[in-house]
A and B are shown apart, each in its own frame.
Chain A
Amino acid sequence: MLSKEQIAQRIAKEVKNGQYINLGIGIPTLVANYIPDELEVVLQSENGLLGIGPFPTEDKIDPDLINAGKQTITMVKGSVLFNSAESFAMIRGGHVHLTILGAMEVSENGDIANWKIPGKMVKGMGGAMDLVASAENIIVAMQHCSRDGASKLLKECSLPITGIKCVKKIVTDLAVLEVSPKGGFVLKERAPGVSVEEIQEKTEGKLIVEGEIPEMVF
């Protein structure tokens, strides 16, 4: 099984040189730590910044400089600030190449649910609906099963959905899977020590297994 850091590390391998990327809250934020130095990429924060830098040292904290998770951050050389309407123009306009976000559920046709548990949790969708409706490539980072052991890779989402037919790839603690355009989760890689059978057992939606499934290498 992969740790959260390893999920982030595996997703970082999907990042390509020259991309503008939006990272969601949680595991996706950790991806920034594993993007190889030789790649030139720009991280977008949807409140209004291109070019997110590392967290500030104690003496450089600025309450007027936060990311979409409201964490204090810094800027990098070449950063630019703008208003939130402009920020979402970049997102909807397809200028942000890659969106990495967390999810509560993903369905076998690429629907994602991550904003609401009726009667229990009402936090709001933030920018997630705009992001999943617009980005050309959407990767989900999540645990394969919920805390009570229920599969999060489903035939159909049971929770209110955030976007339809948008997720391209999912990296969980057990596996890397792609959403087939015809429907179904195509198993691409296994976490070290995890069998195809275990992944099958923990995937409620249709799992497509073709040939030998390689084990991830770290």
Chain B
Amino acid sequence: MINKTVKDAKEAVADIPSGAFLMMGGFGLSGIPENCISALLEKGIKDLTIVSNNAGVDDFGIGLLLKKKMVKKMISSYVGENAEFERQLLSGELEVDLIPQGTLAERVRAGGAGIPAFFTPAGVGTEVAEGKEIREFDGKLYLMERWLRADFSLVKAWKGDTAGNLIFKGTARNFNPMMAAAGKICIAEVEELVPAGELNPNEIHTPGIYVQRIFEGKNYEKRIEQRTVSQAKS
């Protein structure tokens, strides 16, 4: 089996240059590549384009890269939790493409699956449709969306093996599997890295063919945005 292991986040992101087109997995702060984001912060590169559903919060996740002005453009669906993001956007420092969430997920999926374009009903009649081809199929209007592919995709999984096979946990899966496939180089960070053969092939979510580099991350903070609880039953 091909061994995809690299030592750590620093080694994994060493060749990501300024101006790179990146994808980062995660929904909110769940399933984000924490270790790779820290390593990018230390590298201090700039002019990055980042595809990510959200943009982190002011002091965590992609919010940290925004604060250091490393990001030129974000391609996201919802960025509501980040005041610095909103400031940079309204002042024109940051370019932003806002895309319906399902369209974003499908554009990334299409990128990894070799489908250059597809038609979706999401956004018909709205400003999202501006400049896009509209077609009627069976009496309903759809608009054409293009695939998204990246130089590097940075994903986070729960478990992985040295062959790059990945298993996700809970809703931390989100965009990670599609992004793994849509990156020319996919860097996967995992909470637990095991030798090839130790994961049950029936339970693997992302086949290792999509993953070029894998390492075991450390010190996962897994910050919670909205801590909602119910009272324990007495």
Contact = CB atoms under 8 A, between A and B. Distances in A.
A183 to B, nearest CB: 16
Contact of A88 (B102, B170, B223): B102
Given A66-B27, A123-B79, A125-B98, A84 B105 contact: yes
B123 A81 contact: no
A34 B169 CA distance: 30
Given A61-B227, A66-B28, A124-B78, A85 B100 contact: no
Nearest to A49: B171
B127 to A, nearest CB: 5
B100 A129 contact: yes
Interface string B154-195: 000010000000001111111111100000000000000000
Contact of B30 (A64, A160, A162): A64
Interface string A117-139: 00100111111111001100000
Nearest to B227: A72
A130 B169 contact: no
Dominant secondary structure of chain B at its interface with chain A: loop
B100 A91 contact: no
B171 A122 contact: no
A125 B231 CA distance: 32
A125 B127 contact: no
B57 to A, nearest CB: 10
B30 A66 contact: yes
Contact of A84 (B27, B127, B225): B27
B1 interface: no
B14 interface: no
Given A133-B124, A161-B126, A164-B124, A124 B98 contact: yes
Interface residues of A, number: 50
Q: How large is the interface on B (under 10, 10 to 19, 20 to 34, 35 or more residues)?
A: 35 or more
B53 A84 contact: yes
Contacts of B96: 122
Contacts of A65: 170-171
Nearest to B177: A83
B89 A122 contact: yes
B229 A56 contact: yes
A37 B89 CA distance: 45
B45 interface: no
B27 A47 contact: yes
Interface string A83-119: 1110110011000000000000000000100000001
B137 to A, nearest CB: 13
A127 B28 contact: no
A65 to B, nearest CB: 4
B230 A56 contact: yes
Given A123-B80, A127-B100, A47 B174 contact: yes
A125 B78 contact: yes
B197 interface: no
B196 to A, nearest CB: 23
B229 A58 contact: yes
B77 A134 contact: no
Contacts of B128: 125, 129
A84 B122 contact: no
Interface in A35-76: 45-49, 54-59, 61-67, 69-73
5 contacts: A46-B101, A70-B27, A71-B226, A84-B178, A125-B78
Interface of B: 27-31, 53, 76-81, 86, 89-90, 96, 98, 100-103, 105-106, 108-109, 120-128, 158, 168-178, 205, 222-232
Given A45-B171, A72-B224, A124-B98, 19 more contacts: A57-B229, A61-B229, A63-B222, A63-B224, A64-B30, A64-B31, A66-B226, A67-B171, A83-B177, A84-B53, A84-B174, A84-B175, A88-B106, A92-B102, A125-B128, A133-B121, A133-B122, A134-B121, A164-B126
